[in-house]
Each structure stands twice: as C-alpha cells, then as structure tokens.
Structure 1
Amino acid sequence: MLDVKKVVATEDASELISRLKDKHGPLLFHQSGGCCDGSSPMCYQEGDMLIGESDVLLGYIDECPFYISKAQYGYWKHTQLIIDVVKGRGGMFSLEGPEGVRFLTRSRVFTEEEKSKI
C-alpha cells in the first residue's frame, strides 16, 4: 500500500526540529506564503500562533503539526512539501533564527499513482 504524505522533513530538518523541541517544547509549523518568506515555513512554540479557519492541517513532521493557509494549499495541493534546512536567516519570529539556519520548503509534484491516493 502506498503511504502518501503531503509534507515530509529531511534528515537535517528532523535534527533541527529535535533540538528546537528540546529547547522550546512542543512546536508547530505554518506555511503562509507571505511576500517576504514565502518559501520559509515558520516554526513556533505550540500555542504561540493562532490557527484559524483559513488554515489547513497538511500533516505532521516529527510529531509537529504543519499548517498551510487555504490559499497556498490551493496552489500546492498537487505537490509534496519537503521541509529542509539551509544556512542563513529566516523569518524573524521563527524559532530557528538564532541557530544561524532557516527552514526552507522544497516541493515535488505527486505522481499520478500518488494523486489517486490523496
């Protein structure tokens, strides 16, 4: 059986998530598609961001909920989001900022077989 996930994390991202969870406790991610950090998902302590009706739960990465705005989901629903880490500064409110790295969203289009399973 084909297990299709809409969002996954690279090994580097998982290692960073683990360090951030040790430091800050439970986390959540949000991919808003804002003008400045559209490819950078924001990482927050759980409870520090209000999730509303305009957000979609895409899945979980390393047991952390990952949300995306409905508008962005409309554009990306045919892709798998791959959360990675790169050097540099990200969003000013995202927890990884002081680490000197930022999360980055990469994507790939689902295969026809995968599309039939989601």
Structure 2
Amino acid sequence: MVDRVSHTPEAAGLLRRLRESHGPLMFHQSGGCCDGSAPMCYPAGEFKTGGSDVLLQELEVDGVDEPVPFWMSSSQYQYWKHTALTVDVVPGRGSGFSLEAPEGVRFLIRSRLLTDEEYAELHG
C-alpha cells in the first residue's frame, strides 16, 4: 500500500510533544501564498473541514494514541494528487496559527512524484 502522506522521525518527535500539550491533532493544508501553502497543525476538530476538503491519510505516529488526519483543500489537491507527501520539520518560524509556531520550528512538506503504478493504486 502506498502512503499518500508520511512523516520524518523529526516530525514524529514534534507531533508527540504537541500531542502531550494539546491532545489529539490534525493537519490541514490549503492553497495560498506564504504560510497558507504550509501544513498547519491544529488540535483535532479545531479547523472545520467540509466538502471542499480531502482527507489524504491518517498518519500513524509511534507514541501517539490516535492517528493524525491530514486534510488538504480540494483545489490544492488538484496540484498535489500526483505526489507522495512527507511531513518534515525545519528550524524557523511558521504561521502563528499552527501549534508548532512557539517551538521555533515549522512543519514543511517534501514531495516526490508517484510512479505510474503508485498513482494507479491510489486512484484506481
């Protein structure tokens, strides 16, 4: 099975710390400029998703009791549907709305193109 979204060990460590402080988590990535195109981490349910959002995957993170859903706006998904995404964390300040902002780091998406076989598996 192809992972639509995965995470680095560094991102997993940060997610564990954020889970301890804030409870269950979720990601949402919208389209837009600046931080609007970065993955934003929220307490689960704090960002209201709707019919214009796509649930890409629920991330399993060692040491986190429940999966972390990763949502993307459908318009952004149209640009990213040919890619596998990896949630990473890098030094620097991201958006003030994302939970990691006070930590002096920010989540970042790394991507690679899906192979033809992976694309077929995901999109039937």
Shorter-chain TM-score bucket reads over 0.9
In structure 1, how many angstroms separate the alpha carbons of the residues matched to 2:52 and 2:96? 22
Describe the superposition over 1:23-60 as per-residue Cα deviations: whole angstroms up to 9, x where unpaired. Answer: 10000000102212144200000121111111000001
Count of aligned residue pairs for this structure pair: 116
1:74 Cα deviation from its structure 2 partner: 0.5
Confirm whether residue 12 of structure 1 aligns to residue 10 of structure 2: yes
In structure 2, how many angstroms separate the alpha carbons of the residues matched to 1:38 and 1:5? 23
Give the structure-2-normalised TM-score: 0.90
| Distance 1:38-1:81 versus aligned 2 partners, 3 A rule | farther
Q: Which of the numbers 26, 30, 40 marks the counterpart of 2:28?
A: 30
Unaligned 5+ runs, structure 2: 62-66
Runs of 4 or more off by more than 3 Å in structure 1?
none
1:39/1:104 contact within 8 Å kept? no
The structure richer in helix per residue is: 2
Unaligned 5+ runs, structure 1: none
Residues 19-58 of structure 1: pairs in structure 2 closer than 5 A: 19-58=17-56
In structure 1, how many angstroms separate the alpha carbons of the residues matched to 2:26 and 2:48? 11
Give the structure-1-normalised TM-score: 0.94
Identity of aligned residues (%): 58
Q: Which of the numbers 78, 85, 89 marks the counterpart of 1:81?
A: 85
1:25/1:45 contact within 8 Å kept? yes
